[in-house]
Amino acid sequence: MFRKVLIANRGEIAVRIARACRDLGISPIAIYSEADRGALHVRMADEAYLVGAPPSSESYLVFENILKAAQRCGADAIHPGYGFLSENPRFAEACAAAGIPMIGPSADSIRLMGNKTQARSALLQQGVPIVPGTDRALDSPQEAIVEARAIGYPVMLKAAAGGGGKGMRLVETESRMAASFEAAASEALRAFSDPALYLEKFVARPRHVEIQVLADRYGNSIYLGERECSIQRRHQKVLEESPSPALDDDLRRRMGKAALKVVRAANYENAGTVEFLLDEDKNFYFLEMNTRLQVEHPVTEMVTGLDLVREQFRIAAGERLTLRQRDVRLRGWALECRIYAEDPDNKFFPSPGVIQRLLEPQGPWVRVDSGVYEGWEVPFHYDPLIAKLITFGADRPQAIERMKRAIGEYQIDGIKTNLRFFDRILSDPEFEAGRLSTHFIEEFMQRASNSTDQPAEVPDAAVVAAALAYRDRSSTPPSIVRPLRNNRWKMNSRPVGGVSVKKWRASR
Ligand code: MV4
For 166-176, how does the pLDDT look when each residue is reduced to its tens digit (9 = 90+)? 889 999 999 99
Is residue 51 a contact partner of residue 78, using CB atoms and an 8 Å limit?
Answer: no
Q: Report which secondary-structure segment, H or E, holds 306.
A: none
* Ligand 1 touching residue 227 (CB < 6 A): no
The answer, yes or no, to whether residue 363 has pLDDT greater than 60, is yes
Is residue 207 a contact partner of residue 436, using CB atoms and an 8 Å limit?
Answer: yes
Q: Is the peptide bond before 459 cis (omega within 30 degrees of 0)?
A: no
**Per-residue DSSP letter, 480:** G
Atom number, ligand 1, closest to the C-alpha of residue 288: 9
| CB proximity list for 234: less than 8 A, separation 6 or greater | 165
Q: Which of 168, 237, 296 has most ligand 1 atoms within 8 Å of its beta carbon, as the pocket-test mutant?
A: 168
Beta pairing partners, 197: 159
* Ligand 1 touching residue 200 (CB < 6 A): yes
Beta pairing partners, 155: 171, 201
Atom number, ligand 1, closest to the C-alpha of residue 204: 3
Cβ neighbours around 268 below 10 Å, total: 26
Catalytic, out of 227, 233, 292, 402: 292
Q: What does the pLDDT read at residue 471?
A: 56
* Ligand 1 touching residue 153 (CB < 6 A): no
* Ligand 1 touching residue 438 (CB < 6 A): yes
Beta pairing partners, 156: 170, 200
Distinct helix (H) and strand (E) counts, the chain: 17, 21
Q: What does the pLDDT read at residue 468?
A: 67
The answer, yes or no, to whether residue 334 has pLDDT greater than 60, is yes
* Ligand 1 touching residue 167 (CB < 6 A): no
Atom number, ligand 1, closest to the C-alpha of residue 229: 22
- What's the rounded mean pLDDT across residues 16-24? 98
Q: What does the pLDDT read at residue 124?
A: 94
For residue 165, report the distance from its CA to the centre of ligand 1, in Å: 7
Whole-angstrom distance, CA of residue 367 vs CA of residue 302: 9
Atom number, ligand 1, closest to the C-alpha of residue 201: 15
Q: Calculate the alpha carbon distances from 299 to 195, 204, 321, 339, 372 in Å.
A: 36, 27, 20, 15, 21
Query: What is the pLDDT confidence band of residue 449, given thresholds at 50, 70 and 90?
Result: confident
* Ligand 1 touching residue 235 (CB < 6 A): yes
72 part of the active site:
no
Instruction: Compute φ and ψ for 233, nearest 5 degrees.
Output: -125, 120
pTM recorded for the entire structure: 0.89
* Closest Cα to atom 14 of ligand 1: 202
Whole-angstrom distance, CA of residue 167 vs CA of residue 159: 5
- What's the rounded mean pLDDT across residues 456-470? 67
Q: Calculate the alpha carbon distances from 120 to 129, 134, 167, 268 in Å.
A: 10, 8, 17, 16
